[in-house]
Amino acid sequence: MAEPQRIVIIGTGLAGASAAGALRERGYDGDLVLLGRETHQPYELPALSKDFLLGNADHPNPVHEAGFYESNRIDLRTGVEVTALRPADHVVVDSSGTTHPYDRLVLATGSTPRSLPGSGAHTLRVVEDAQAIRAALEQRPKVVIVGAGWIGCEVAAAARAHQADVTVIDPVDLPLRRVLGPTVAEVFRELHEDNGVHWRLGVGVEGFEPNGVRLADGSTVPADLVVLGVGAKPNTGLAEDAGLVIADGGVAVDAALRTSDPDIFAVGDIAAHDHPRYDGRVRVEHWANAKDQGAHVAGPVLGDDRPYTAAPYFFSDQYDLGMEYRGLADAERDELVVRGSLEDRDFTAFWLRDGRVRAAMNVNQWDDGEALQALVDERAAVSPERLRTGSLS
């Protein structure tokens, strides 16, 4: 495979900016263009629903320091909407009609939060969204959050810190149940309840009124501010229109993050990855995945086709609870083993399948990260007794 002379990356989020940095780190010396819709230099999203909403930070963390792009000859073009991808011609086209030729292309277009048309509700993805929600929270409004996933739970915690009256609505009977299963999800239900959140669980939203949210049981929850946390949709439109293979809602990539076109790669939220360590494809919307796939893809783009093998990892902070999750489990089906105290919110949860560790989540425990990573990476066969009370290493 000939060395590329010109690489274009679409998407100035964490995955795209990490890919650009890694290409230079690996010694790529040719043209490198990073195109993105946002008008800011690339920044990280997690703080938007945490320190930024809490008022502890006024700016999100940049992916790279100011000056990085210039000093690494990365042609960062912000405020550019890419409208078409023409693989046969090896060009992408932006909304001004300008064409950008490439030898290799990296798609890193991320996701868009799902919205409910006509709701007038806020969603949270970019810094402007967070600014608007924070300004509203400072008025101590009645807040209704639709969706008890990670974003919904983190926004609830931030809103309570502003002493707002907070109700969270979800048709499922427990927050985060799909990822954590009923036993661990109950810890999060209690956490929010202890911090003054009103739950409306097991009931769906029927409609939005000027002063509130109408539920399927006929009741209305009054609201000055409504925030939606009902998931995100990967931005696969460019890839789809260009005829690339789409799978499991994302852009299908092989083990080395290459799409169905040999010169096009996809990373981050949009990549439906043929992960060598799991059956079926893995597509996750996590900070570490965007950062690490972005860094990894520099290899395959330059002809070093090593597979991406990292297990998924994510984290969350809510009130005084911090957690990290490593691996990939089916919480409704896998065996749950708990080390420590669920009641004190000081524990590590393990999910086992066929006696082997599929995932581990440490809550307010920070000493065993490496050991947990090894157990997940090795899919270690460890007895539940040892996981509960024995040595983890």
Ligand X SMILES: Cc1cc2nc3c(=O)[nH]c(=O)nc-3n(C[C@H](O)[C@H](O)[C@H](O)COP(=O)(O)OP(=O)(O)OC[C@H]3O[C@@H](n4cnc5c(N)ncnc54)[C@H](O)[C@@H]3O)c2cc1C
Question: Is residue 16 close enough to count as binding ligand X by CB under 6 A?
Answer: yes
Q: How far is CA 38 from CA 13, 78, 133, in A?
A: 9, 6, 19
Using left for φ > 0, alpha for ψ between -120 and 50, and beta otherwise, residue 185 falls in alpha
Q: Which stretch binds ligand X (CB under 6 A): 9-17, 170-178, 243-251, 349-357?
A: 9-17
Q: Which is nearer to ligand X, 4 or 36 (CB)?
A: 36
Dihedral-angle region of residue 260 (phi above 0 means left; psi in -120 to 50 means alpha; beta otherwise)? alpha
Site for ligand X in 88-127 (CB under 6 A): 108-111, 124-125
Please compute, for residue 342, the number of CA atoms within 13 A of its CA located in the half-sphere on the CB side.
16
Pick the piece of the chain touching ligand X (CB under 6 A) from 10-18, 177-185, 250-258, 302-310. 10-18
Residue 84 binds ligand X, judged by CB under 6 A: no
The stretch near ligand X (CB under 6 A) out of 79-87, 167-175, 210-218, 374-382 is 79-87
Of 80, 93, 107, 96, whose CA–CA distance to 19 is shortest?
107
Closest distance of CB 262 from ligand X, Å: 22
Q: Of these, 81, 138, 194, 344, which contacts ligand X (CB under 6 A)?
A: 81
> Alpha helix (H) ranges present in the chain?
14-25, 51-54, 68-71, 127-137, 150-161, 177-194, 237-241, 287-301, 369-377, 384-389
**Residue 388 CB partners (closer than 8 Å, separation 6+):** 337, 338, 339
Pairwise CA distance, residues 78 & 75, whole Å: 10
Q: Does 208 bind ligand X (CB under 6 A)?
A: no
What's the CA gap between 120 and 178, in Å, rounded?
A: 27
| Least distance (Å) between residue 188 CB and ligand X | 14
| Contact call for residues 136 and 255 (beta carbons, < 8 A) | no
Instruction: Kindly tell me which residue out of 19, 33, 48, 337 binds ligand X, with binding defined by CB under 6 A.
Output: 48
Tell me phi and psi for residue 287, to 5 degrees.
-55, -50
Using CA atoms, how far residue 55 sits from 59, 86, 102, 133, 152, in Å, is 10, 44, 42, 11, 17
Does 49 engage in binding with ligand X (CB under 6 A)? yes
Q: Does 250 bind ligand X (CB under 6 A)?
A: no
Q: Which of residues 288-307 bind ligand X (CB under 6 A)?
A: 288, 290
Q: Which of residues 313-372 bind ligand X (CB under 6 A)?
A: 314-316
Query: Rule CB under 6 A: is residue 259 a binding residue for ligand X?
Result: no
Closest CA to 203 of 165, 225, 174: 174
Interface residue with ligand X, options 41, 167, 235, 365 (CB under 6 A): 235
Q: Is residue 10 a contact residue for ligand X (CB under 6 A)?
A: yes
Count of residues of this chain found to bind ligand X when the rule CB under 6 A is applied: 37
> Using CA atoms, how far apart are residues 253 and 294, in angstroms rounded to an integer?
13
Q: Which of 24, 30, 38, 278 binds ligand X (CB under 6 A)?
A: 38
CA–CA dist 228, 147 (Å, integer): 6
Q: Is 77 helix (H, G, I), strand (E, B) or coil?
A: strand
H-type alpha helices, 79-162: 127-137, 150-161
Query: For ligand X, which stretch binds (CB under 6 A), given 12-20, 160-168, 202-210, 222-230?
Result: 12-20
CB of 29 to ligand X, least distance (A): 24
How close are the terminal C-alpha atoms of the chain, in Å? 43
C-beta closer to ligand X: residue 14 or 337: 14
Q: How far is the CB of 211 from ligand X (least distance, A)?
A: 26
Q: For residue 45, state whether it binds ligand X (rule: CB under 6 A).
A: yes
The footprint of ligand X on residues 124-183 (CB under 6 A) is 124-125, 151
Shortest reach from residue 254's CB to ligand X, in Å:
18
- Of the pair 321, 382, the CB lying nearest ligand X is at 321
Of 74-82, 167-175, 182-190, 343-351, which segment contacts ligand X by CB under 6 A? 74-82
Are the C-beta atoms of 228 and 198 separated by less than 8 Å?
no
Least spacing, CB of residue 110 vs ligand X, in Å = 2
Question: Taking the complex as a whole, how short is the minimal distance between the CB of residue 251 and ligand X, in angstroms?
Answer: 11
Residues forming contacts to ligand X in the complex (CB under 6 A) are: 10-16, 35-38, 45-46, 48-49, 80-82, 108-111, 124-125, 151, 235, 238, 268-269, 285-288, 290, 314-316
